[in-house]
């Protein structure tokens, strides 16, 4: 049965995007971080996106600029299967992409019930909050970035019920990022 994880950055004050929906503050690259990103991108699986995050990713990762700046990540992002939950997105040109209209929770529940590779959500805060409420996310990989935004949107906006998590790992990077791994407490 596939596991579902989330990999997202948050500011030190807990925001997933700034007040204008921007996430560029989360891109603090250096050699150590880039090596981690390349290693993490090699895990395989299926990438899950909402339309907005997918359009941001598709505008960068399959481009020559991405292949020049982070070739391993760009190659792996393009090679992985991608599922976009949207009722408005036309068929995208980024290879290995499937658009799934309709109810997200039911679609992910079906994906998790069938044999197949693990699933990973990148960005897509609205999907994260819906799947958190449905208790379908197995692991949260949260990158705390040392920046204070003052306002914005949290990754869990709209979550209706509290949920306890257990810290299962952490890693600190020279650029100030800290990755925290959490799982649901059963």
What residue spans of the chain are helical by DSSP H? 31-41, 51-60, 64-69, 71-79, 104-113, 125-133
pLDDT along the chain (186 residues), means of 10: 93 93 83 81 82 90 90 88 93 92 94 94 89 96 96 92 95 95 90
Q: What's the pLDDT at 31?
A: 85
Do 138 and 165 touch, CB atoms closer than 8 A? Answer: no
CATH code of domain 4-184: 3.40.430.10
Q: What's the pLDDT at 70?
A: 83
Cα-trace Rg, the chain = 16
Angle of the 71-79 helix axis to the 31-41 helix axis, nearest 10 = 20
Q: Please tell me the pTM assigned to this model.
A: 0.90
Q: What's the pLDDT at 35?
A: 83
Q: Tell me the two tokens of residue 38.
A: 């390349």
Q: What's the pLDDT at 14?
A: 94
User: What number of CA atoms fall less than 13 Å from residue 132's CA on the CB side?
Assistant: 24
**CA-to-CA distance for 186 and 182, rounded, in angstroms?**
12
Domain positions in the chain: 4-184
């Amino acid at each position: 049965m596939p596991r579902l994880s989330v990999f997202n950055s948050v500011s030190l004050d807990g925001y997933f995007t700034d007040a204008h929906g921007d996430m560029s503050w989360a891109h603090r690259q250096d050699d150590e971080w880039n090596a981690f990103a390349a290693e993490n991108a090699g895990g395989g699986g299926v990438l899950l996106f909402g339309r907005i995050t997918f359009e941001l990713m598709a505008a960068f990762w399959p481009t020559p600029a991405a292949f020049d700046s982070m070739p391993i990540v760009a190659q792996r992002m393009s090679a992985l299967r991608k599922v976009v939950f949207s009722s408005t997105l036309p068929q995208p040109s980024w290879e290995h992409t499937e658009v799934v209209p309709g109810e997200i929770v039911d679609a992910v529940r079906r994906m998790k019930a069938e044999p197949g590779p693990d699933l990973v959500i990148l960005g897509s805060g609205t999907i994260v909050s819906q799947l958190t409420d449905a208790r379908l996310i197995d692991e949260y990989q949260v990158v705390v970035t040392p920046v204070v935004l003052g306002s914005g949107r949290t990754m869990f906006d709209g979550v209706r019920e509290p949920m306890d998590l257990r810290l299962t790992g952490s890693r600190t990077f020279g650029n100030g990022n800290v990755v925290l791994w959490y799982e649901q407490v059963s």
